[in-house]
Structure 1
């Protein structure tokens, strides 16, 4: 009967579980069927079947009521088999997942135990190493203290010996004077003539003179002894102390790098000269924000307030000016007779040709960002931008061709951290291999122009001891010189590779440094040019380089 029922509906047996009451399906419900009306070609559940029979008594039914239960039982059995099969499959999958999780947990546990053991082993080795170093340091300190104590004791003993010797000499002199005084008294008692009395008076005056010399110590015998001890002997002791302390700090290097500053060395001698750079057509006080030196020793300056370039001859005398289309920030030598100027608000680089001190604007290219520092290496132009506020974006350095095609942008290190906060002036090493950028808060950023090593923060603000680095230049191939706009200092960092690098404040307020903005080094005269904000003068310092 069930087969006949399916065949009449022209469906497959496997789709039986999808047959539901036609009326209920229209109302959005799925209710099992009881019968099929041939005339209406509709399926009916129990409730709909009662209603249909009441309304249409002439309907012909495919399945009689006696066999309806067989159909529903078959459908129920089919559904149960399907759900049972699905349940078994799901259970099997869950068992497999559980086994995989248990295996993974065991692997993680094994790895964790191995990593923990490895970490403990490394920590143990580090602790042993540190303990050994601390023991060695304690031993070295104790040895040094004992050595210094012994040397000090010897020096004090020698000092006492000198004092005793001097005291003995004076005591002997006093005894001699006392003996002479006794002899004088005897002579005075035995004097018989005026000549004898005059001789005694002369002898007495000589004796008094010797007594005053001994008491007043006109030769500063004691002072010479003290000076000898404090200057010579103690200087020797200080040398031993310095040598021991350097050895001590050298041992500390094993636990962490320690930079040693040699503050005892004499600073480089810097003789300052002031040069007026006011132009005949200037309408405001000068604000020299950038400077560069040409191969012939002439100096070019950018004046922010007067929007021009100033040309100084080899004797630092202003001989010419050149008006610019926008406010300049920095300037660099881009050729034998050419300079490049960054125009801050116009966001472009302007090239200027030179002909015996005469300047002429040539071509330019857009940067599309407010630009600050500019430097040239070969046929590449480097421009520092950004970092001046939210609208400027993060600090970065762009590399362009002379035609203005951007080749590369430097802004992140290998760890994805910002290289720059607000990059300022830049300078290129003599060999053209490195670009050094003074950054407002990061310190010094070095970029390898050969692209063999990644860009890096070469001297951090902590290492360079700066609050707002601005100007930068190189003296030879060993010294980085930077000026700090806030601290009003010019600092030199010896040894460009930093191993054993030393820091030294070259110029400060005592040298009339105030708000320094740019630096350039005149190799022809071994002179450092310092420019500052809101002043009509530049400062030129004679440098004694080693």
Structure 2
């Protein structure tokens, strides 16, 4: 019976090779050494960099996670203990996000996923995925290239985040400045309106004053004339009465005849005086202004326009090129569309060879080409393992599930036109059409949400790129890149010197566009300005941006460049 507080001594079969003391064993089983006496070694695992006893050697061959390891027998194994970094105790502290009661213990190289035991059992079995037990591989990460790369990427992301924060602060300063300018413009506009209304008021008052002056002038004329008439009439009347009283017949006769002539003359004068008018006043408001004030509810419209940071000054260098012509291709390639599924998996459509291909960036190899019975045009990422391809001449969109070396056809969506460009964002797709030219926003199931069909906006809409709040469409005939919102309202337009083709959006909202002159330009998010980032690339066709590696992937339409994907590194 074991004494409480002490560990029971392990017993070993007599068939086991006789054991020496710890000091005598120069090469011993390293797994057993962690929890018991040292046992003589029987073999060596090159994957784990460990010597194994006979029992561990046998179990190593049987265990699911280690049965594919390379084992060396006693004759071929290293005869001295490896000075490798000591293995850390198998203590796990990170919970699995899918299975909260389980700890992360494994890593899938195919899906670049951290896994728990349940994940390995249900979703990432050893038969389908390349899975390792983390302690078996973690020792090599100390001061490794991966360690250095991750630190560099963290520093890069820190710098980029700081740059975005600085840009946002600058944009807010610009916004506040534009608000001050807008308020000044409002006051200026109101002042102009007031000045104009004051002028109109002055004109009306002047008109009233003219009427008033006319009335006063007429009154004065009547007063003077009537005063003279009344004076003359009274004087004549008094003379006639006196002559009549004094019986002076001759003078009375003559005065009466004078009076009769005077009365006749004064009748004409009084008749004229009676025709003078006195004007009253009545104000009738201007109907246009009255109706305007009644109908209009605002002095004007204050619009929030998108402010874009200044385009960064970029340094461009060609990193590499990857050959994408396969033995099954009958003619030279024409890569009309491309999309990144993961940072090292590029999906491309080959229009000439009626194929879709997987390009492994890491190994520079082309995997699992899928042949169509008509020319595919563009391709977009739908989810982490799904893409959609436009087939113009079938008027369909074909969906595929994708793994590292396999393309599996899923469902097909019939659309109502010759579809070319496509871009998927969350649960929506934006598709461009020709004959007639239009752009549609659809749900993944094909339900049409919005359509824009206007020759003033699109005559040959081609490629599309999307984000949370905007859509960019290149038009080959109009030589424009048009910015739309998700309600299909135009929010900006950039005019190119030559016809634009492929589009891709950067992580900070700018757009890279292939121009046939031949360059790749970067356009600001508000379409107000652009700059050349890649020069002298022959007839660029499709383009794709990797934010993780700051790399532009481009294709060309001329031989022999059409058989390669070019990689350009962009740095600030």
Q: What TM-score, normalized to structure 1?
A: 0.46
Higher relative contact order (CA 8 A, sep 6+): 1
Q: What TM-score, normalized to structure 2?
A: 0.44
Higher helix share: 1
